[in-house]
Amino acid sequence: MTEIPVISSRILHGVPYFVRQELGERALRRANRAAGFDLELLEDQNCFIPHAAVVSFLNAAARAAGEPNIGILMVPAMNAANYGSYGRYLLGAETLGLAIERAISALPYHSTGDGMSVAIVGNEVRYSYAFALAGCEGYDAIAVAAAGVLLSVMRAYLPAYWTPLRVELDIAKPRQTAALETVFQCPVVFGAPVVTAVIERHHLAANPRRDARSIVTIEDVMRARRGGAPRDMLNVVVEQLRTQVRAGSISLESTARAMDISIRTLQRELNRTGTDFRSMANAIRIQRAIELLRHTNGTITSVSAEMGYSSPANFARAFRKVTGYGPREFRTSNRPHGTAEHHS
């Protein structure tokens, strides 16, 4: 089956807010539509979204606002500390060198298709990141923002006045380079094989500027990310459906758009596995409804609306077909003793 690279939605922490504040509400709406779901509802959740959706989001925002330098504007806000358990794990290391090693070893729990490496060449350390869709349309902004993330790891360990030796970007040299050199505070090399931040070797022994708030283990990352990012088409689709349910709506068109494939291709790939989009969507919706009925006090009507059903009656029929119970009957039989029941 076709492989669709995905990445943690945590990378977008604060980005929708940034787009709204810097580029406007119209740009944010267009960006969400291009991505296939409302990313503002997902940025702090542990879910995976296609790389293509991230690229589409930034491209649409930049076009809507007429802002070609969106990557440069984003650099100051890029921070690995916002990446949930993955970020806390790598920044909880005792030295910068160990933090980089953790970032590399835990990458499979953060994304698929990406690459990360570190190399020591003489007195220089080269910390590199390869985006799964490097070179695609609109990639320049991704490359610039990614360099900002690499530098954020280093700045968590190095003095406030520290500057890198240089930044290398795997993009063509733009007409104006001064803005990039200003935001990175160092020389910038273009046409590199991958995005790379270059620092002096002795910095690897640097200790964190601030003590970690809590100890996070690789097992914590594994649990938070459900064992790792989905790697095959079927599991990627399941993840997108779960993501869309959280965002409030499910559609075949949005799923295909987020994965950057045609509707026909998506349907064909699902048919090969013996399933179809409608069946998968219904199963995910009912599973989410079960969670809401069991663990929240929302009315049956509100749960029905949240799952995207046109009416509570339609929701009740679909729910009974899968579980053998009506929603209210299910809630009553599964509610802990002493909890008041809320009706629709």
pLDDT, tens digit only, all 344 positions of the chain: 568 999 999 998 889 999 999 899 999 999 999 988 888 877 777 789 999 999 999 999 999 888 888 999 999 999 999 999 999 999 999 999 999 999 999 999 999 999 999 999 999 999 999 999 999 999 999 999 999 999 999 999 999 999 999 999 999 999 889 999 999 999 999 999 999 999 999 999 999 988 766 688 999 898 887 777 888 888 899 988 988 888 777 889 989 988 989 999 999 999 998 999 999 998 888 988 998 898 888 899 998 888 888 888 998 998 898 888 899 998 888 765 443 444 43
* Nearest in space to 51 (alpha carbons), one of 105, 125, 115, 102: 115
Contact 156, 87 (CB under 8 A): no
The C-alpha atoms of residue 196 and residue 182 are separated, in whole angstroms, by: 17
Region of residue 258 (left: phi > 0; alpha: psi -120 to 50; beta: else):
alpha
- Alpha carbons 250 and 239: distance in angstroms, whole number: 12
230-264 exposure pattern, b = at least 16 Cβ within 10 A, e = fewer? beebbebbebbbbbbbbbeebeeebbbbbbbbeee
**Fold type of domain 233-334:** Arc Repressor Mutant, subunit A (1.10.10)
What is the token pair recorded at 135? 């070179």
Q: Do strands 166-169 and 6-8 pair parallel, antiparallel, or not at all (unpaired)?
A: unpaired
* Pairing status of strand 166-169 against strand 115-121: unpaired
Packed helices 51-65 and 252-259: angle between N→C axes, nearest 10 degrees = 90
Token pair recorded at residue 143 = 């490359």
Q: Residue 314 and residue 64: Cα distance in Å, rounded?
A: 38
Q: Which amino acid is at 113?
A: G
Q: Residue 167 in contact with residue 189, Cβ under 8 Å? A: yes
Contact (CB, 8 A) for 58 and 49? no
* Domain boundaries along the sequence of the chain: 72-131+140-231, 233-334
Quick check: 60 and 34 in contact, CB under 8 A?
yes
Q: Check residue 67 and report its DSSP letter.
A: -
Instruction: Report d(CA 264, CA 278) in Å as an integer.
Output: 14
Distance from C-alpha of 71 to C-alpha of 77, rounded to nearest angstrom: 10
pLDDT for position 339: 39
Note if the pTM is more than 0.85: no
Distance CA 35, CA 16 (A): 12
Is residue 127 within 8 Å of 150, Cβ to Cβ?
Answer: yes
